[in-house]
Amino acid sequence: MTIAVIPVAGIGTRLRPHTHTVPKALIPVAGKPILGHILDQVIGAGVDDVVLVVGYLGEKIESWVRENYRIRARFVRQEQALGNGHAIYVAREHLGDQPVLIILGDTIFRGDFRAILGSDDSLIGIRAVDDPRRFGVVNVDANGLVRKFVEKPSVPESNLAIVGVYYLTNGALLRRCLERLVDENHASLGEYWLVDALQFYVDAGERVRTFPGEEWYDCGTAQALLDANRALLNVLQPPFGEVPGSLIHPPVAIAPSAVIEASIIGPHVAIADGARIIGSVIRDSIINRNAIVEHAVLHGSLIGENALLEGRATRVNLGDDSEIVVGA
């Protein structure tokens, strides 16, 4: 059986102020935390053995997973942010002879995971990008086999970026490669990169192929989160109940306990549990749990948990437990 390893220890500095109080993996998009989208895909493919590498606010991630999922979940702590290779390294005790599915916890990937897990060869998800210097990239030979991995190349030899999904058939070899990565101190600028361990993996003779990762949604910044929210709502088309006295333009994700009064909502709006929207017009925005928005016109906005926004702001990135009253 395949084991899934999901590193979710990132601090998420580019998503502040929201990640001051909520771990990045639990930031909601399209009506569900980032980690929820990942776990649903993993479980849907038949994997129920999951190791989560936690760090900053890790207790919140553990509590949320245990409350919402009935899977075999183990939690390993990464005490220092020493790179994504180190994150998998700290989970090495759980890597044995079985295949390993690694999904980085800061992106959402939608695809046919059952087909991926059925492969005889190891697989890496890739997508062609305009600026490969921001990503780990792969070089592929004429037979479709990966020959070289490079993290954030200054002079890219390829535009095939890794989307953060890895299926590795030889878990025991992966563990040895991770141990070599750290024991021999193959670090770059103080960080251990997973691609360097994967280079050892390929050099040891393992066959690694690629698969297309077109439905790949970055969630690393406020704008990227809103872009992912928009794209996923278009794909998922979540159902919603009647909202008397208000006008709803789908696609939207509206939690059952949200209260909406005399408002125009959508398209591309996600409203979480306990939120109250009164006399407002909102589009292309994410409203988090227990937030209150009154008499506002919003677009392209993120409103944090328990936040209060009152007035005619048009674009806001408001963190948890914050308050803006326009015209008071």
Mean pLDDT, rounded, for 246-260: 94
For residue 319, the model assigns a pLDDT of: 60
pLDDT digits (tens, 9 = 90+) for 70-95: 889 999 999 888 988 999 999 999 99
Mean pLDDT, rounded, for 96-120: 89
Q: Which domains does the chain have, with CATH numbers?
A: 3-218 (3.90.550.10), 238-325 (2.160.10.10)
Q: β-pairing, 216-218 with 259-261?
A: unpaired
Residues 50, 3: contact at Cβ < 8 Å? yes
Element (H or E) spanning 165, and its range?
A: strand 160-168
Q: How confident is the model at residue 265 (pLDDT cuts 50, 70, 90)?
A: very high
DSSP 8-class letter at 311: S
- Of 37-41, 152-156, 198-202, 206-210, where does mean pLDDT reach its minimum? 152-156
> What is the end-to-end Cα distance of the chain in Å, rounded?
60
Q: Residue 327: pLDDT above 80?
A: no
Residues 236, 228: contact at Cβ < 8 Å? no
Q: β-pairing, 136-140 with 146-151?
A: antiparallel
Q: Residue 317: pLDDT above 70?
A: no
pTM of the full structure: 0.88
φ/ψ of 38, rounded to 5, equals -65, -50
Mean pLDDT, rounded, for 303-307: 88
Q: Within 10 Å of residue 125's Cβ, how many Cβ atoms?
A: 22
State the Cα–Cα distance between residues 126 and 152, nearest whole angstrom. 14
For residue 328, the model assigns a pLDDT of: 47
From residue 132, how far is each of 101, 109, 153, 221, 279 by CA, in Å?
24, 18, 7, 18, 45
Q: Residue 241: pLDDT above 60?
A: yes
With 0-12 CB in 10 A as exposed, 13-18 as middle and 19+ as buried, what is 82?
A: middle
Mean pLDDT, rounded, for 133-142: 82
Q: What value does the mean pLDDT of the chain take?
A: 88
